[in-house]
Structure 1
Amino acid sequence: MTESETATPPLSSPEPDGKPVRLTGRWWRGLSGSVAAGLVLLALGVACSGVLSVFTEVNGPGAFSLFGHLIAAVLALLAQRYADTHRGRPAALAALSVLAITVVAVWLFWWT
């Protein structure tokens, strides 16, 4: 094997004009991806407690909270997917929307 076959591929590929692509948004996508994953885990936890409350006949999260968490998690995942597959300002706005969705969900279902 030659050295070029064993080398890891670059994190960015050059643009058609030969200039390398800047990876400045990488940490931002990582942060918003972590927040989206946390929101999914929170939604799964609320869903599990809802199912458990049905079987134990104990008061659990209401339907509004249960479905609200699930909808927020799906919206955050869709926004994160867009942020991961696009570049520039639209990707940054999608990552920012992940944070906004999470703040709204936590405020609505936990702080009020």
Structure 2
Amino acid sequence: MSSPDTEQLTTTPPPTERNEPAAPQGGRFWRGLTGSLAAGMAVLTVCVVSIAAVCLFIGAPGPGLLMLIGHPAAAVLALLAQRTVDRRTGRVAGFAGLGVVVSVTAALSLFWWS
């Protein structure tokens, strides 16, 4: 018999693991690589747009209109593809990762290496 001052606590079992497929080890490297490329492209875009704003303010020549359109477009494409890489598995994630690599490589080769 329990006293009126104490109450019985019900315990629930610990939560079980979710039924999500684990990413293979090779997939972990690929996701990390493409995520780094997409994040780097986003940071580069912020830098290019910031430099353009400073150049506009002080009247200096800055990056051209093509760079100001191309960098954000490549960053958006890379980040959207990376979202797919993070949420899907298999061939879809692989091809989306390839899209990240292509968009970042295209932006770097068109605007920086040529």
Please report the TM-score for the alignment, with normalisation by the length of structure 1: 0.81
Aligned-partner Cα distance in 2 for 1:22–1:82: 14
Deviation at 1:46, TM superposition (A): 0.2
Alignment pair present for 1:66 and 2:68: yes
Partner amino acid, structure 2, of 1:102: V
1:96 Cα deviation after fit: 1.2
Give the number of equivalent residue pairs.
102
* Larger CA Rg, structure 1 vs 2: 2
> What is the percent sequence identity of the aligned residues?
44
Q: Is the 8 A contact 1:14 1:21 kept in 2?
A: no
**Equivalent position of 2:57 in the other structure:** 55
Cα deviation, 1:27-57, whole Å, max 9, x if unaligned, reads 1111100110000000100000010110000
CA distance 1:22–1:83, change in 2 (3 Å): closer
Q: CA deviation at 1:22?
A: 4.8
Aligned mates of 2:41, 2:83 — CA distance in 1: 14
Q: Which runs of 5+ in 1 are unaligned?
A: none
Unaligned runs of 5+ in 2: 1-10
The normalised TM-score by structure 2 is: 0.80
Query: Moved runs in structure 1, 4+ residues, more than 3 A?
Result: none
Give the distance between the partners of 2:37 and 2:103, measured in 1 at CA.
Answer: 10
Query: Could you tell me which residue of structure 1 aligns to residue 24 of structure 2?
Result: 23
Give RMSD over aligned pairs: 2.1
User: In 2, Cα distance between the equivalents of 1:36 and 1:85?
Assistant: 15
**Partner Cα separation in structure 2 for residue 22 and residue 40 of structure 1:** 25
Distance 1:61 1:22 in 2: 41
2-structure distance, mates of 1:56, 1:75: 31
For 2:81, the aligned partner's letter is A
Q: 2 CA distance for matches of 1:66 and 1:22?
A: 36
